[in-house]
Amino acid sequence: MCLAIPMRVMEVDSGGARCEARGVERRVGLMLLQHEDIRVGDYLLIHLGHAIDKVSESRALEAWSLYDEILAAEDAARAGGSGALPV
Amino acid sequence: MHRSADDLFGPAGGLLCRPGAARPDTLTDTRPDWTARLARGRLADPLPDAWAGLFSLCGDAHRLGSRLAIAAARGQPMAPSGAQRRAHARATVHEHLRRIWLDWPIALLAPDGPGSPGNAHAPARPDRAARVLSQYPGWRPDSAPAACADWIERELTGMPMTAWLDAWADDPAAWLTRWCEQPRTLAARCVLASRHACEPFMPALTDACMAVPALLPRLDRLSIAAWAAELSRDDLARARAARWQGGPAQTGLWTRLHRPSLRSGGPPWLALGARIADTIRLSLPTEQGSAGGDWLTIGAQGLGDGEGIAWIEMARGLLLHRVTLDRLDESARIADCRVIAPTDWNFDPDGVVARLIERLPPGNDETTLRGLRAVIAAYDPCVPVRISPAGAHRWADRDA
């Protein structure tokens, strides 16, 4: 379903921002958030190369906690396990 | 752990298309069915916020749907407030505008293709389209509805939006044909390009659309209970089965329960018009069952034994949350949870998009790819789409 990945802002310049999540970096446009004050350390939702929303750190970390559960289950499934998610 | 970009965006899975192949090989859905596994055993009350964080693009719709389903499962069904309805309408408009300005130009406007007449007024390049989109006043929480309406009339319809809507309601296909032949806005150019892209495959595409009924359930208690039972049985057989009246169904902006605009289907490019019409309706002042915060149907029904189901019309169509609780008090945990999104209906291996792609010729020639992009843009999946064989041609990377 419609997943957008929360990423942490590493650098802001006139052309956009450099963002990171779990070791993956992306350069993103900030045009759709012109009404927001975007700073290093903020968390953004990224979609199709554009930041579309600023989210709280707690919401970003909760989303990442769920992603980590999914990724761990997929790793387990690839390794021959059941792929069952921890509950 | 350091992860690659594919690892990072992998959990959403994707759709693999094989133009011209016979069903069920036309469309392969690689999305893992992790929602039920993720929910099972969690405390019920925090689950809606967890879904909101995870399904970020449509997070508010998932939060509301999940909340309504849990309340209904407890035997305490609640109706969404006016403020919740208005917020959902606003979020849906935002999603429509992102699709029109960020997706449509990439999918439909080849640099020298149909619909790209070099009109200086409307941007063709994606970054220019995003710049225009950034000027929509509604991104600001305190925006005035009149300013949003002005922008929509200037940048989307190119004319008074109520006049556009009246003409659409009168005869969708005839109006959209007339409107896009003098393309004054980026959206009109995209509609024209989509129509051109579909033309080589007509009337086969219209026939395929009409073969799958619109998802228009009756939302009374008995009908919903029977439907939930049907979904439960299908869930046992297939990980993500979306079935209505025993078969596939299509859902989208053209199957709104208050007033479906294309009950009998139509060529894919008409779906683009339905998105414009939906944007207009949601931007008008609230009017019962026809505009603003009251346009989208939202509801829930308790089914007894700790089970509840909620339905909420969203940007891509009808979203269902069905939940079963292990007890009814505040320590309740999730015994079972199913989330059925519009993509599950439309991209079912026997569903409408599979039937449309089946009608395209095999191969990756430019005419076929244009037709495929028009189909995908019309039905708007929420996950990446790739073309087989060998992944030599990608329609688009729709992730971040």
Report ipTM for this prediction.
Answer: 0.81
Query: How far A12 CA lies from chain B's nearest CA (Å)?
Result: 18
Q: Of B111 and A11, which is predicted with more confidence?
A: A11
Tell me the three-class secondary structure of A39-87, residue by residue. Answer: CCCCEEEEECCEEEEEECHHHHHHHHHHHHHHHHHHHHHHCCCCCCCCC
Q: In this predicted structure, what is the pLDDT of residue B53?
A: 82
Contact B11 A32 (CB under 8 A): no
Contacts of B140 in chain A (CB under 8 A): 35
Q: In what order do the strands lie in the sheet with A5-13?
A: A24-28, A16-21, A5-13, A43-47, A50-55
Enumerate residue ranges in chain B where pLDDT < 50: 1-2, 4-5, 113-123, 237, 239, 390-400
* Whether residue A73 has pLDDT greater than 80: no
Check: CB of residue B12 under 8 Å from CB of residue B381.
no
Backbone angles phi, psi at B24, to 5 degrees: -90, 10
Contact B2 A23 (CB under 8 A): yes
CA dihedral B189, B195, B200, B202 (to 10 degrees): 180
Output the pTM of the full model.
0.88
Q: How far is it, in rounded angstroms, from Cα B167 to Cα A3?
A: 35
Nearest CA in chain B to A19: B400
Contacts of B133 in chain A (CB under 8 A): 31-32
Q: In this predicted structure, what is the pLDDT of residue B389?
A: 58
Contact B400 A48 (CB under 8 A): yes
* Whether residue A48 has pLDDT greater than 90: no
Query: Which of B317, B321, B318 shows the shortest CA–CA distance to B300?
Result: B321
Contact B140 A73 (CB under 8 A): no
Q: In this predicted structure, what is the pLDDT of residue A63?
A: 85
